[in-house]
Amino acid sequence: MKFNSVRVISWYGADEKLKLVRQQIHKEQCDWFKTHGLNIIVLTQEHEPVTSDITCIASSRLFPGSARNILLKDFYSSDEDFCIFADNDSVLYDKQQHLDGAAFINLIKNIDVTAMKDVDAFIPIIPQHQAFSTFFKKNETTLKHHFWFDRTREFKGSLFVLKNLKKYHGMELYFEQDKFIEDGKIIGVEDKAFGMNLVRHGLGVYQCKNIVLNEIKMDKSTWAPSKPFRTAMRQLADKKLAEYLEQPYNFNISKWLDVNFKKQNRVLVKKTDENIGLENFLL
C-alpha cells in the first residue's frame, strides 16, 4: 500500500523555556520518523522548521483540530492510501516489550490495501489507559502473525492513522473544532468527536493492538498545562460530546457504538512477511 508519510501539527507554546523543550521533543520525533523511512510534513505554527529535510507548511497559531484540518486537506488531495497524523511529541514505543512498534511501519507497508477494506482509521494502545504486557503474552500467536484491530470507544489525536477517505469513499471529513471551544479555550474532545463522526458515516474506527503510543515527555503540554486543568475540562468535554452526538449527558458510548458501528468489531489482517520485526515480539 502507499503508506509513505506522517503529517504533524507543531506549536511550541508561548513560554520561552517550554519552547526549547518542545523543540527538542519535536526533533526527537522527526528523527524517529526519518529512521522509519517516512516523509515528514509539518504544519509549523509560529516557528522555523526543526530540520531542513522535512516539508513544512507555515501557519499562525491554530487550535489543534483546525491545524489538523489543513493537513487532512493536503492528505485528501494526495494519492496516498494511509497516513499517520501526530502531535509534535508523539511516536510509537519501539522496545522489545512493545511488540511491533519498531517494525510496524515496514510491516504495514507490505500489506495489500484491500486487506484493510474495513479499517478506515486506527489508534495505537494508549498505555495510560490500558495495560498491554499480559495481553501480548496471552495472544502471542495471533499477534505474531496478524495485525489485530478492535473496535474502539477512544480516538486520541496525539497519533492516529487514517485511510484516504476521498480516494476510497469519495468523502472528506474534518475536525469540527469550533464546537469544542469554551471561552476561547479548547475542551480537548474534538479528536474523539472526529473518530465518532467517522463511525456515524459508516466507517471502521479501531485500535491496533500491536503498537503502543509514546508521547515523549507528555507532561510538557502546550494546550493542557496541568492535570487540574484537564480534570476541570473533562466534565464539560463529556457534555459537549453528548451534544455533538445528539445523546443525553453521561450516555453509554459502548451502547451507542453497538447501534452505530457498521463494520466488524474485530479485524485480523495477516502479515505478509512474517520475518520482519519478529525480534521485537515479546516471547
Closest CA to 7 of 170, 133, 157: 157
Other C-beta atoms lying within 10 Å of the C-beta of residue 193: 23
The one-letter amino acid code at 188 reads G
pLDDT of residue 123: 98
The number of C-alpha atoms within 13 Å of 205 and in the hemisphere containing its C-beta is 22
88: Cβ–Cβ under 8 A, 6 or more apart, which residues? 8, 9, 10, 11, 12, 22, 25, 26, 29, 42
Other C-beta atoms lying within 10 Å of the C-beta of residue 92: 25
pLDDT of residue 183: 86
Residue 187 has φ and ψ, to the nearest 5°, of -90, -25
Residue-by-residue pLDDT tens, the chain, 283 positions: 999 999 999 999 888 888 999 999 999 999 999 999 999 999 999 999 999 999 999 999 999 999 999 999 999 999 999 999 999 999 999 988 899 999 999 999 999 999 999 999 999 999 999 889 999 999 999 999 999 999 999 999 999 999 999 999 999 999 999 999 988 888 889 999 999 999 999 999 999 999 999 999 766 555 555 666 667 778 899 999 999 999 999 999 999 999 999 999 999 999 985 444 443 433 2
pLDDT of residue 223: 56
pLDDT of residue 226: 61
Integer Cα distance of 64 and 53 in angstroms: 24
pLDDT of residue 145: 94
